[in-house]
Amino acid sequence: MVAVLLALATLPSVAEAHGPVAPIASSYMARANQVPAGLKANAIDGDQRMWLRVQPDQTVIVADYRGAPYVRFSPSGIDVNHNSEMYYLNQTPVAETPPSSLSASTPPSWHRVSGGHSYEWHDGRLHALATVALSPGATFAGRWQIPVRIDGRAAAISGGLYRAHNPSIVWFWPIVVLLACVLAAWRLRRPELDARLARALGIVALIAGAGAGAARQLHGRPTVGVFAIVELAVLLALVAWGLWRVLFAHAGYFTYFAIAFVAIAEGLELVPTLLHGFVLAAVPAFVARTLSVVCLGTGIGLLPIAFRMATQAAGSEPVAEEDLEEEDDGAWELA
């Protein structure tokens, strides 16, 4: 386990910064510093995507890398030009190589994508400067610009790209220390100690897991979607079930296995916060990193105790596989 944690800590910083569609952390952050009047623009997901909202009575056209129109905002809605290089490059996955014949003078082929007035897209101009080598200690990578036309008038959205130094590897050591303490108590082979330790780890893991889920799902891009709310509600329901089992229903190994898996899953989701400087969550960076450490430490620490409970239950009396609730209670009574 120590080797796995150290391997995670030594991964290249770009591994998580530019890969995910909705990253939880990044080494670079793009910020829009100059936005024309009537527009509202935000760089989201670090340096990956641009979100733009326009006034309903405005007509705004965003240019692509070659100067061709890419997105058109109008009073009737939003259209995307299928004769734009960015249209091909922004397909997920990339459908095909953009035709070489496309240029700024190619007649546009507009297709309606929304009846609203806000839209987001991946824009390579935001993170193009991430490949530029910076001097030691420097945090400003350079300026980016996205040309637009507002009611026929040329303008631009511009801003800067910033770099944050990666966190210290020391963030992984609390996990190692916690696991060492749990294994030391586990080696004593005392059922009462195992039960108390499982109870304490389970409660902390559930609370940290709920916090980690809220930190991920409540981070707006730039708003919080319905799917994120539903996913968070499901997680909170699982946490409530786990707390009820641990506090009032004599939880056994099945419950602790479930708690461990939920905590580890949430902790792994936040692992990039331990590797990159900017944290893209609904909580401060220190809180997000602490939640990741606590989830991983308590989740992994629960596993050997749950395995022992399961072994003891199997060795005492057979339990029907289809009745997990009775199996769970039997493991607690044995402990």
- CB of 279 within 8 A of CB of 25? yes
pLDDT of residue 137: 82
- DSSP letter assigned to residue 76: T
Through-space distance between the first and last CA atoms of the chain, rounded to whole angstroms: 27
- What are the structure tokens assigned to 168, written together? 């210290």
- How many helices and strands (H and E) does the chain possess? 10, 12
CA nearest neighbour of 41 among 33, 49, 29, 51: 51
Q: What percent of the chain has pLDDT over 90?
A: 74
Integer Cα distance of 98 and 85 in angstroms: 6
Integer Cα distance of 172 and 297 in angstroms: 9
**pLDDT tens digit sequence for 203-224:** 999 999 999 999 999 998 888 9
Integer Cα distance of 227 and 114 in angstroms: 19
Sequence-distant (≥ 6) Cβ neighbours of residue 286 within 8 angstroms:
none
- The whole model's pTM is what? 0.82
- Diameter of the chain by CA atoms? 80
Residue 26: in which H helix or E strand, if any?
A: strand 25-26
| Main-chain phi, psi angles of 44, to 5 degrees | -120, 165
pLDDT of residue 228: 92
**pLDDT tens digit sequence for 13-35:** 333 333 446 799 999 999 999 99
- CA 175 remoteness from chain centre: 20
**pLDDT tens digit sequence for 261-270:** 999 999 999 9
CA nearest neighbour of 270 among 290, 292, 298, 246: 292
- Supply the angle between the helices 226-248 and 191-217 in degrees, to the nearest 10: 160
